[in-house]
Amino acid sequence: MKNLLSLIGNTPLIEIEENIFAKLEGFNLTGSIKDRTALAMIEYAEKKGQLKKGIQIVEPTSGNTGIALAMISAIKGYELSVVIPKTTSEEKKKMILTYGGRIISVPNKKFREPVIKELKQREKRGEIVFLNQYENKNNVKVHYEKTAEEILNQIGKRKIDYFIAGIGTGGTITGISKKLKEHFPSLKTIGIQPKKGDIIEGLRSLKDGYTPPIINLDLIDEIIDISEEDSLQGRNYLAKKGILVGPSSGAVFKAIKNLNLKGTVVTIFPDRGERYLK
């Protein structure tokens, strides 16, 4: 008999428009691609013997990783605290709390580097388990070994010319791009980041001064800035086609439409849109 965690992965790849294929990660258990990442990190920590009874997992996340970790922790019986920026949507916060996770909210400017530094120190003292999605190689490995393999199986005999994805922790774009470039050496990878000063949940700009250690920029051929307004337009367009997605998916799709590329394009829609409705 399958357990709940077996529902993670094997998401559909749909031709949204002619030659534009999107992998709908909203079909994962909690509705986002971060289910894959969270499960991979937790299973690796289990293999290393890091997760012991009474010690809690603490992870900084803009929301989706926190939701995924909260769900998996509920199933496996682990304690979890999630550090989130204040701009995280109320829907995401409620999901984390409903699964039994705790929330620590911090100002946006103090999110990430200061938090990561503190959590590393706490882990050294043996107080917590810090999975650290920004530096955890399993964040890349799961997409190289599983997500990209699914894409190759689903695309069949087609040649993929472009892989376009948002830039967050860098795990998705690095892992998938590496695998696809092995099969299609001429493939061009394009990363999407928010325009300076704009906030698009699920994406971050490398211009802000922080480059996640797991991202391999050599695998990304071009990086394009997209505005909040572009993201909203992309989401609304897709909703009219019956596909409700989050801001990062809207941003990526709008970028693809703007580029008007010739050839087969594959992209990732990281999550569903219900948690962003206001």
What length is written for the chain?
278
The torsion angles phi and psi of 68, rounded to 5 degrees, stand at -65, -45
The torsion angles phi and psi of 167, rounded to 5 degrees, stand at -100, 120
- Reference 93, options 70, 112, 119, 59; nearest CA is 70
To the query of whether residue 34 is one of the catalytic residues in this protein, the response is yes
Rg (CA), the chain: 18
**Tokens encoding 273:** 């849109």
Put residue 158 in one of left, alpha, beta given phi > 0 → left and psi -120 to 50 → alpha: beta
DSSP state, residue 108? G
The side-by-side arrangement of strands in the sheet containing 222-226 is: 13-17, 20-24, 265-269, 162-166, 188-194, 222-226
User: Of all helices (H) and strands (E), which one includes residue 72?
Assistant: helix 64-76
Strand partners, 193: 225
**Pairwise CA distance, residues 10 & 186, whole Å:** 26
Per the CB < 8 A criterion, the answer to whether 214 and 170 are in contact is yes
Angle at 38 between CA 34 and CA 41, to 5 degrees: 140
**Tokens encoding 163:** 């892989």
- Reference 226, options 257, 204, 195; nearest CA is 195
Residue among 2, 23, 34, 146 flagged as catalytic: 34
Tell me which residues are annotated as active site: 34
